[in-house]
Amino acid sequence: MTAIDAINVIRTKSGMPNVLPVYTGSTDAFRPRIKNERTIELCFEGQHYYDDIRRWMDLPTVMAGPIIGIIPQKTTVSPTYPDGFIYTRGPIENNQGIRQPSYSPGMYYLPFLNADVLKMKNFKPNPAW
């Protein structure tokens, strides 16, 4: 079974059409589809997204952007806005007290417990941790 066949089996199971041929022509076009399918299939399965961005070495790309959040705007209560707020999605500014993400190469590795490091005489831990 090829990777295209495997994704199409998952998509067929959920009633979705097969992956379009425009995405299956090259590895560079197909890899984002694989990442998207994995994100959709495992969306409520814990922290797979954060493990995946480390696994795929996407940390610099993902962590370089601003934090996106819900920005409430006060408005008058109406049938369209029953709670009196308009909610829009957008970048959160630094002056709102929220730390913007930063990236360091050590984030690709998991730290070892200090107790484990002390048990191994010749072991040198990752310098980033």
| Tens-digit pLDDT profile for residues 8-62 | 898 898 898 999 888 888 889 999 888 888 888 888 888 888 888 888 888 888 7
Q: What is the pLDDT of residue 112?
A: 77
C-alpha distances in angstroms, 1 versus 77, 108, 111? 56, 31, 37
Q: How far is CA 75 from the centre of its chain?
A: 33
pLDDT above 90: percentage of residues in the chain: 15
| Tens-digit pLDDT profile for residues 77-111 | 999 999 999 999 988 776 556 666 667 777 777 77
The pTM is what? Answer: 0.57
Bin 97: left if φ > 0, else alpha if -120 < ψ < 50, else beta: left
